[in-house]
Amino acid sequence: MRSLKRHYCFRHWTKRALAFCLDFLGFFLTFPFRIFRKTLPSKPVKRILLIRLDHIGDVVMTRPAMRNLRRRFPQAQIDLLISKDIIPLFEGDPVIDTMIGMDPHWFSRKPGWRKILPETRRILSYLRKKKYDLGIDFRGDVRHIALMSLAGIPYRLGYGITGGGFLLSRECDYDFSRHQVFNNLKLLECLGVEQIPESVPFVYSARREKEFWDKFAAEIGWIPRPHILIHAGAGYPSKRWPAGSFAALIHKILEEKLGQVVLIGTLDEISLLPEIMPAAGRLVDLRGKTSLGDLPVLFDHTDVFIGNDSGPAHIAAAQGLDSIVIFSGTNDAGVWHPWNERLRLMTHPVPCAPCEARECPLGHHACVDPISVENVSTALREVLKNKGQNSSERK
């Protein structure tokens, strides 16, 4: 009966009630089968399916668990079901054998059910043919759990925080106060996987690096370091520091000659900072020009990342880049911050956080607007000073 007392992740009571009713009914309907169900594979695991259908940052924070799983099952075929647009990040990755891209899926921006249903059928058909021994859902989503069950995967591991735990071979306890990296690792504990929370950089091919420099070497034209990457975008408006603050920060960096500024972002994000003008080669605008797969290459040749809580912030952290991340009250920073020891979080506590809203429901954005340009620039100067001292010590 433990599963009936589970704490669900939904904020609204109606969704929690629906999840409870689903589990209550499912628990009793499947009880005869659960008596004989084995909670762990009894034979060697040859094929493993991992599911993390979500956004970039969520996938990045799953990678420490993926690496430790590979150490535990070095000979197994390990496949990953993710959003199709994230696949370029995994080119050349030694941990994952096959990336299965789904587009659209239920976390896509404005997906449309008419497109999701045939794509779900296609993915389900593919998974059934692969005959996986073990399936692991890192998000705890009832749709992922149902997908593993319908695909005929005999051993299914995951969290039941949105319902459907009765379909899992082994349901694990989810700690809502624990960082996502540790929750992902904890999920694999029953498989004898080591709990090593190391940051895992993306590995890119020599071809990818050559293609990057063939495109951008002349445009970037590196001047002496440091190179400061700035990303003003984020998935939701509620996560964005004001455009005026970013513009003021960039002008301050250029005026004080702290380094070369490199702007990154999508074509849609250009409108967030439309009036930034080049400054004698000390500002390079790559917004709308780089692909997702280019970012690890770029990050490995720069010094500092400054940006909002976003996918690029998590990639920068994974590459070991010194990062200054402006974190709004949308999510709990202690649970969702980019995983990197060289991280500086810029926050402004408010009683309404975390709200998990796409836009500020109160209209004041008091969790991020008060973070001053001076505070961020001071953090940048401290990072650059520490990097200079470390460089001198190595010499």
3-state SS assignment for residue 375: helix
- Is 138 inside a domain boundary? yes
Helices in 221-320 by DSSP H: which ranges?
A: 243-255, 295-299, 311-318
The DSSP code for 151 is T
Indicate whether 27 and 158 sit together in one domain: yes
Indicate whether 37 and 128 sit together in one domain: yes
- Is 204 inside a domain boundary? no
Predicted pLDDT at 4: 38
Q: What is the pTM (predicted TM-score) of this model?
A: 0.92
Predicted pLDDT at 224: 65
C-alpha 393: how far from chain center = 34
- Is 203 inside a domain boundary? no
Indicate whether 271 and 184 sit together in one domain: no
- Is 196 inside a domain boundary? no
Distance separating alpha carbons of residues 144 and 96, to the nearest angstrom: 19
Distance separating alpha carbons of residues 211 and 144, to the nearest angstrom: 36
Indicate whether 274 and 361 sit together in one domain: yes
- Is 199 inside a domain boundary? no
Predicted pLDDT at 155: 94
CATH of the domain at 365: 3.40.50.2000
Determine the structural domain holding residue 282 and report its residue range: 209-394
Indicate whether 148 and 43 sit together in one domain: yes
Predicted pLDDT at 5: 41
Distance separating alpha carbons of residues 16 and 19, to the nearest angstrom: 5
| Polymer length of the chain | 395
- Is 197 inside a domain boundary? no
How many other C-beta atoms lie within 10 A of the C-beta of residue 16? 17
Indicate whether 181 and 242 sit together in one domain: no
Cβ within 8 Å of residue 52, ≥6 positions away: 58, 59, 62, 80, 81, 82, 138, 139
Indicate whether 262 and 305 sit together in one domain: yes
Number of domains the chain contains: 2
Indicate whether 12 and 161 sit together in one domain: yes
Predicted pLDDT at 280: 54
Angle between helices 373-394 and 243-255 (to 10 degrees): 40
Indicate whether 335 and 299 sit together in one domain: yes
Indicate whether 229 and 158 sit together in one domain: no
Cβ within 8 Å of residue 65, ≥6 positions away: 138, 181, 184, 185, 187, 188, 193
- Is 202 inside a domain boundary? no
Indicate whether 259 and 170 sit together in one domain: no
Q: Report phi then psi at 50, rounded to 5.
A: -110, 140
Tell me the C-alpha to C-alpha distance, in Å, between residue 395 and each of 18, 224, 300, 385, 389. Answer: 62, 17, 21, 16, 10
pLDDT in tens, the chain (395 residues): 344 345 788 888 888 889 889 988 988 888 777 666 666 777 889 999 999 998 999 999 999 999 999 999 999 999 999 999 999 999 888 899 999 999 988 888 766 778 899 999 999 999 999 999 999 999 999 999 999 999 999 999 999 999 999 999 999 989 999 999 999 999 999 999 999 999 999 999 889 999 999 998 887 776 667 899 999 999 999 999 999 999 999 999 999 999 999 999 999 999 988 777 665 558 889 999 999 999 999 999 999 999 999 999 999 999 999 999 999 999 999 999 999 999 999 999 999 999 999 999 888 899 999 999 999 999 999 999 988 756 544 44
Predicted pLDDT at 3: 40
Indicate whether 262 and 147 sit together in one domain: no
Structure tokens at 100: 């299965």
Structure tokens at 317: 């952290």
